[in-house]
Amino acid sequence: MPSKLAAVLLAASAALAAEPTTSAPADGPALKTGDLVVFVGDELTEMAVARRTVTLVYPLLVETFLTARYPELCVRYVNAGWSGDTVTRVALRLDRDVLAHKPTVVVICLGLNDPGYLGFAPDRLESFKEDLTRLVRRCGEAGARTWLISPPSVEEEKGRKLRVMRDGRPAVADLQAIHYDATLARYAAAVKEVAAATGSGFVDWFERSRNARHKVNRLRRGGLAALTRDGRLPQLRSTTLAAAALLRAWRVQPIRVTIDLHWQEGTAQVAARPGQTASLPMEITEGGKRILEVHGLPLPWPMPGGQVGAIQPDWQAATMCEFVFRMADPPELGIVLTQETSQGEATGQSAILASQLRAGFNLATTEPLRSVKGVADLFKLIATRNNTQHTVWRRLELSAPREPELAAAHKQLIAAWQSYVAGYEEMISKYPKTFDARLVLTEAVKPEHLPTSRPVRTRPARHIPGRRGTGNDDARP
């Protein structure tokens, strides 16, 4: 690229990263610098680790989004989830595991296990409402702002036996036989009532997950959508519904970038932040390729392995992470978009139709953004910090040795692990929340069918008695 063009490009794209997003004004997020958020609940919340894999619970997704979207917002997060929990069990450990952190925000997600995996019982639901109300009020008295999340809808499959926890003990349940989804609908309504009565925020995970499943089922004309692993525990798609809904309840603004391109002119308008737009030239090669380099773009929503592409276009999460790619004058068949490193190495490719380009296409749902290295690395840092914090709490703080000779060493061990947590928090705060993109646009062409290299086999003509030759009998294929 000519040096003059490079200088113009760098000067224009530098404006995109001139001012990072800071803590929000009065009409911005409900969180503010200095907040300490504690998530409490059952297996829908717990940051458990098995075979070195991360449980993709909604608190982790909420934290990764806020870290990328508001890099100057200094908020601490504590996951106090415990698999199998009910509102009664949370009340027993509230002081030790929640209020001891002196939280300013408490997020409670309960109700999945509270019906006991039994048929609906009105008295049990009434006890749940009373206990949840007391729980919320205790958090309020401790100075915390509270948000409640209902349990999600379950997918009942006839004859499927699930291992569950009933009142703290292992049990087996058939969700369809006991009409568990209908029961959870009543518990979700009860959570909403408690939120209204206590002035708490509310997120209806149940209604969102049920609507999402019905929507996909209509599109697929039958078959259950993959919202759960076993009918009960949510997949990433359902977990992201809860995370996105909580973020909206907190008035969090989406990660949104718009890139408007002019194919013929070879120019682009890039808006990476509200009120910040830069005009960038595209390099046009002799072969007709357009190359766009943009510096300082905000990171997409960090997800496992950098798989922003796991966000399907019909997910609610797609509206929280938009990299809109538009073109008023696209080539007839669209383009092939390739993301390259600064050394010209391709890291991801996606074909985009002309109709998609005119309407505006979300690149966060495609391969090029999956390969952004910073996304995967930031997610790993946050996940490791959560895993380490979980280890300190469950394996060390709650498992003090009985031998007095080990007491001092045990305290030192906890302090050492806590220093690791603090170290990860510092690395997360310093990690770049922007990335540079080199996008190569190639005009899509009709596929050509290459001639086969295998020779055409022929066979001798068959002689049919009484039939005259047609002149083609000697070369019938």
Q: Are residues 207 and 284 in the same domain?
A: no
Question: What CATH number is attached to the domain comprising 71?
Answer: 3.40.50.1110
**Which domain, by its residues, includes 8?**
1-21+254-446
Residue 344: what pLDDT?
75
Q: Is 470 a member of any domain?
A: no
Residue 104 is assigned to a structural domain of this protein: yes
**Is residue 273 domain-shared with residue 317, that is, in the same domain?**
yes
Q: What is the mean pLDDT of each run of 10 residues along the chain (477 residues)?
A: 40 42 56 97 85 78 96 96 96 98 98 96 98 98 98 84 86 93 98 98 96 70 64 90 96 95 95 86 93 93 72 76 94 93 79 95 83 86 94 93 95 95 96 93 80 55 45 38
In a domain, 472, yes or no: no
3 falls within a domain: yes
CB distance 107 to 191 below 8 Å: no
C-beta neighbour count of 292 within 10 angstroms: 22
**Total number of domains in the chain:** 2
The predicted pLDDT at position 348 comes to: 83
Residues 224 and 325 in one domain: no
CA-wise closest residue to 252 among 399, 73, 414, 429: 73
Cα distance between residue 313 and residue 317, in whole Å: 8
Residues 94 and 195 in one domain: yes
Query: Does 55 share its domain with 95?
Result: yes
Q: How far apart are CA 305 and CA 369, in angstroms?
A: 11
Residues, the chain? 477
How is the chain split among helix, strand and coil, in percent rounded to 5? 40, 20, 40
Which residues are CB-neighbours of 263 under 8 A, at least 6 positions away? 290, 327, 329, 330, 331, 441
pTM: 0.85
Give the CA distances from residue 270 to residues 107, 249, 307, in Å, rounded to whole numbers and listed in that order.
37, 29, 23
Q: What confidence score (pLDDT) does residue 345 get?
A: 80
State whether 309 and 416 are in the same domain: yes
